Amino acid sequence: MKMMNCLIITDIQYDFCPGGALAVAGGDQTIPIINKISSKFDKVIATQDWHPPGHMSFASNYGRHPYEVMTIVNQEQVLWPDHCVQGSPGARLHKNLNLGPVDLIIRKGNDPNIDSYSSFVENDKVTKTGLQYYLWGLGVKHIYICGLATDYCVYFSAMDAIALGFKVTVIIDACRGVDVPSGNMKKVIGEMRREHIMIETHDVILSQNLTSDRFGRGK
């Protein structure tokens, strides 16, 4: 039986692209790479950061500056600019991202009192998105992850995925990070490697013959 794989396209939203509220440098440069590879996977999931107004991760709630770290209920929380507010233009998936091959869109961060970086489990480490059951149900064994931001949503998704028993590859040139606090990118790359998360560029992955090339598209 074929080993099923999937691609998780993380948070390709206007607020994480240049000009957006929580702009990630070069965030939009990931889009052509993602479009080039997305039809090669058996299943494709896109995620969407989706916060109510006044979400607990917003610095504006506390009269603090964005990107400061604050302890909230015994947990370190990076305070972010208001971003990806449900239904706002900044929360939309970027129009250049090809949604054709996308099977499922997972939204996270809906709870006003819990932040959510991972596509699997919210930051309380208890509340699940349900994505693991979808992937287990389909027999997916190998998860490829790309998108924004490398050191937050991509990193936490990759760490949860490996802990759940999946093989995990981060497609590093199809990701961009925020590096908050400074040095965070280096730290998370080291941690992912230690956990045996593979880190590869998209051309290497394309040459690895994973290609289901579903529906004959995307050559």
Q: Is 19 left (phi over 0), alpha (psi -120 to 50) or beta?
A: left
Q: Is 11 in the site for ligand VGL (CB under 6 A)?
A: yes
Near Zn ion in 36-55, by CB under 5 A: 49
Residue 70: count of CB within 10 angstroms of its CB:
13
Stretch that binds ligand VGL, among 36-44, 89-97, 126-134, 144-152 (CB under 6 A): 144-152
Q: Is 50 in the site for ligand VGL (CB under 6 A)?
A: no
Residue whose CB is less far from Zn ion, 11 or 42: 11
Q: Is 49 in the site for ligand VGL (CB under 6 A)?
A: yes
Near Zn ion in 183-212, by CB under 5 A: none
Least Cα distance to 161 among 184, 211, 195 occurs for 195
Near ligand VGL in 97-136, by CB under 6 A: 117
CB of residue 136 to Zn ion, shortest distance in Å: 26
11 is a catalytic site residue: yes
Question: Among ligand VGL, Zn ion, none, what binds residue 42 when CB lies within 5 to 8 Å by partner kind?
Answer: none
What count of residues does the chain have? 219
* Number of shown-chain residues binding ligand VGL (CB under 6 A): 8
Residue whose CB is less far from ligand VGL, 27 or 101: 27
Query: 158-186 burial, b for 16+ CB within 10 Å, e for fewer?
Result: bbbbbeeebbbbbbbebbbbbbbeeebbe
User: For ligand VGL, which residue of 149, 170, 175, 192 counts as binding (CB under 6 A)?
Assistant: 149
- How far is Cα 15 from Cα 204, in angstroms, rounded to an integer? 29
* Three-class DSSP category at 150: helix
